Amino acid sequence: MTGKTDEMKKVRDEVVNLTTSPLYEYRISNGYHAVLGEGSHDAHFVFIGEAPGKNEAEQGRPFCGAAGKILDEVLQSVGINRADIYITNIVKDRPPQNRDPLPEEIKAYGPFLDRQIDIIQPKVIVTLGRYAMNYIMEKFGLQFEIEPISKAHGKVYTTKTLFGDISIVPMYHPAAAIYTRELKETLKEDFKVLKQLT
């Protein structure tokens, strides 16, 4: 267990000191934290969003704002304990005004996410939103199966990795359900598929 924790600490330290990141100055000038992720380093499920928001950057924790409350509720609805999963984002620093991450930001932070996945070696990766879906499906050789999130949500894609077979499940980002109530019901329905993947 300590091996994984030590490896995660190395990733954290490198991200915190990533002065070449396009978002480093923004983090420092606002007194924000880099948001590495949290949860079990032996998680069966890894959940990946796109980038931290204001609450997350202030607290240094992923999904701790309004979207996080929705995520917690949806996890609870299918009997998954948040402490048992690992949750992170592709981009580890908050983009200004919560805008979408830019390609160069995804490029800067992607290798750290790749290492986190290699350390944890999950059986299931749940992507939250289209940026995470596109990144993960391309990473695992499923780029030809990518379709709009409105079609891909709740589907299960299986692929091989160096550490065994894994399932990738694209989901809507919980933030989308803050403003569109029906989407919360869609999320709850989609999350039911995770019960079959435990």
Fold observed for domain 2-197: Uracil-DNA Glycosylase, subunit E (3.40.470)
Mean pLDDT split into 10-residue runs, the chain, 198 residues: 88 97 96 97 97 96 95 96 97 95 96 97 97 96 94 96 95 93 94 94
**pLDDT score of 198:** 83
Residues paired with 39 in a beta bridge: 86
**143, 61 in Cβ contact below 8 A?**
no
**Residue 193: CB partners within 8 Å, gap ≥ 6?**
154, 156, 169
User: Any bridge partners for residue 157, and if so which?
Assistant: 168
Domain ranges in the chain are 2-197
b/e burial code for range 52-91 (CB count within 10 A of at least 16 → b): bbebbbbeebbbbbebbebbeebbeeeebebeebbbbbbb
pLDDT score for 2: 65
Q: In this structure, what token pair is assigned to residue 70?
A: 């929705």
Cα-to-chain-centroid distance, residue 56:
13
pTM: 0.96
> Distance between CA atoms of 103 and 151, rounded to whole angstroms?
23
* Residue reference for tokens 């996410």: 113
The pLDDT value recorded for residue 181 is 85
